[in-house]
Amino acid sequence: MLKRAAPYQFVSATLALLWVFDAAAAGPDATWRRRQRPKEAKLGDTGWSVADLTVWPEEPPSPPADALDVGRLDAALRAMCPRLGAERGSEYAALIIRYSRQFDVDAMLLAALVYQQGRCRRRGTHYGVGLTRIHVGMHRSHWNQADRTYSYWLPAADGTAWERKSLALPDFPFNRWSARKPDAGLYFSAAVMAIYGAQCPHIDDAHGASAPHRSPVSHFIWGDRVRSSHEESEVLIARRRVIRHYTGVASPLRGAFRGRPLVSPLEGPPRKLTGGWGDPRGPRRRHKGVDFSSTMAEPVRAIADGVVWIAGADMADKPTMSLRPDRAQRLSRGALGRAGLIVLLDHGGGLTSGYMHLLKYTVRTHQRVKAGQVIGYVGRTGVKSSSAHLHFEIRVDRQRVDALPLLGPLVISHLDTKAGRWRQARWDRENKKLERERRRAANARWRERRAKKAAARKSRD
Ligand SMILES: [Zn+2]
Ligand SMILES: [Zn+2]
């Protein structure tokens, strides 16, 4: 143990020297070693943080903690994690409720961490271990194994110094092997969430400026210094989904088409877009829809009442065909075109909606569907390089249009995210350059013609 700790301490000591020059924080400087993920534990898609956090509406309240029901939370977990059996579902639900009560944290948020971090699976990765992928190494300097206490710091009443606090956690040893187990993993995750709940926002700038964030859950993922708000927004989307399944009540947010309400194609709106209408896709092709950031196999729902126009496959070498759901599952990857497995719905009044790259669908052509009914699951059929996402399209009078204005409060535009803005700025620059080159070429042609004319006139004179 000692041998492994030594290089870690050396690196931290070197970093500590750097922190001296990073003391812009308004509060007192941190006196403790920074909790942080190791370098190799890179997190995905951090560029999809939204630039202005005020675009997120207020989060819905959780059901009252003293009346939480194991059966309902079990059903919610199993709706979100289809491979989770009844036995593990009720075990996890009971543990989530027990430890969220013991440490006074939001059970819906703890359940959301179980889904978002581990997909209800307890195996470990470099990222962390157990159901919530808690990173035990990050807490090593705060954990005292001899008396099983966790030390942390809060500002003293006068705000000029840090006061050391300590929380007794006697039930389990806090190490990677123990945290892999559901009971110990959830016990420590709830405790760490409670501690960060007390510390955020006091510690946000104690080790250099944190990225702006809305919830202490950001610290659970990043440690003392939060680097991005993307991971937090994914957890909060999962929390809204847990609440939806637990209460059975869908989000009240609505889009609109000619006065008709539209519900979200994905649960837990608002959902983030990672691609928009008209984005370049190669030199000539343009993106004819919007892309939802989503997880593999999450349910896709009809945005309004309607009839299935096509449930089938976009084929590589022939026109789109309607197929029975079980037949579609047997198609080879190579047979599929760019859109993969698709469902198109006709909602009447000139409105149709399209859902592409589905893992599978559950409806048949000509079938009637209700608003909010599950029609399929997010996949990446037909997709070459990007990860699983929902490509969504709207047609008005059979013409494809930008879905963004119709979806309204159901989505956070890709142009509200850092990556989306950066990409847009790059395309704007490229377009300007192309425009300049076109103008220069046109001018050169005009000058050439004028010179030729002048030369012809001269030879006539
Ligand atoms: Zn914070
Ligand atoms: Zn797309």
H/E stretch holding 390 reads strand 389-396
Spacing, Cα 30 to ligand 1 middle (Å): 14
314 and 227 share a domain?
no
- Residue 21 binned pLDDT confidence (cut-offs 50, 70, 90): very low
Q: Which residues pair with 458 in a beta bridge?
A: none
Domain holding 308: CATH number?
Answer: 2.70.70.10
Ligand that lies nearest to the alpha carbon of residue 292, given by its number in the listed order = 2
Q: Which pLDDT tens digit goes with each residue over 230-267? A: 999 999 999 999 999 999 999 999 999 999 999 999 99
Q: Are 191 and 152 in contact (CB under 8 A)?
A: no
Say how many Å lie between the CA of residue 243 and the centre of ligand 1: 23
Q: Beta partners for 128?
A: 125
Question: What is the number of domains present in the chain?
Answer: 2
If asked whether residues 60 and 166 sit together in one domain, one would say yes
Q: In terms of domains, do 189 and 319 share one?
A: no
Residue 181 has pLDDT above 60, yes or no: yes
- Write the CA distances from 188 to 183, 217, 288, 337, integer angstroms: 9, 14, 46, 47
142 and 291 part of one domain: no
Ligand lying closest to the C-alpha of residue 217? 1
Q: How confident is the model at residue 12 (pLDDT cuts 50, 70, 90)?
A: very low
194's tokens: 């409670």
50 in the Ramachandran plot: left (φ > 0), alpha (ψ -120 to 50) or beta?
beta
Q: What is the pLDDT of residues 397-454, one digit of tens each?
A: 999 999 999 999 999 999 999 999 998 999 899 889 999 999 999 999 999 999 999 9
Q: Which ligand is nearest to the CA of 393?
A: 2
Q: What distance in Å separates the CA atoms of residue 202 and residue 181, rounded to the nearest whole number? A: 31
143, 262: one domain: no
448 inside domain? no
Task: Mark which of 401, 416, 431 sits at the end of a domain.
Answer: 416
Q: Are residues 165 and 25 in the same domain?
A: yes
Considering the domain architecture, whether residues 63 and 166 belong to the same structural domain is answered as yes
Residues in the chain: 461
461 within a domain of the structure (yes/no)? no
Q: What is the pLDDT of residue 388?
A: 94
CA-closest candidate to residue 355, choices 384, 322, 393, 386 = 393
Tell me the residue range of the domain where 38 lies: 2-244
CA of 422 to the centre of ligand 2 (A): 18
Centroid of ligand 1 to alpha carbon of 34 (angstroms)? 14
Whether residues 288 and 190 share a domain: the answer is no
- Arithmetic mean of pLDDT over the chain: 90
Say yes or no: 237 and 266 in one domain.
Answer: no
Calpha distance 42→127 (Å, rounded): 8
Report residue 45's pLDDT band, with 50, 70 and 90 as the boundaries: low
Q: What is the pTM of this model?
A: 0.87
Separation of 201 CA from ligand 2 center, angstroms?
37
Please report whether residue 232 resides in a domain. Answer: yes
Q: Model confidence at 42, in pLDDT bands (50, 70, 90)?
A: low
Whether residues 106 and 193 share a domain: the answer is yes
Reported as a single tens digit per residue, the pLDDT across 330-342 is 888 888 999 999 9
Taking the centre of ligand 2 as the mean of its atom positions, its distance from the CA of residue 294, in whole angstroms, is: 12
Domain boundary among 192, 218, 244: 244
Q: How far is the CA of 215 from the centre of ligand 1 (A)?
A: 7
Partners of residue 307 on adjacent β-strands: 346, 368
Q: What is the Cα 318 distance to its own chain's centre?
A: 35
CA torsion sign for 413, 417, 419, 421 is: positive
pLDDT digits (tens, 9 = 90+) for 113-163: 999 999 999 887 777 899 999 999 999 999 999 999 999 999 998 878 899
pLDDT tens-digit series, residues 385-396: 889 999 999 999
Please check whether residues 184 and 218 belong to one and the same domain. yes
Among 406, 401, 400, 377, CA closest to 390: 377
DSSP label of 335: G
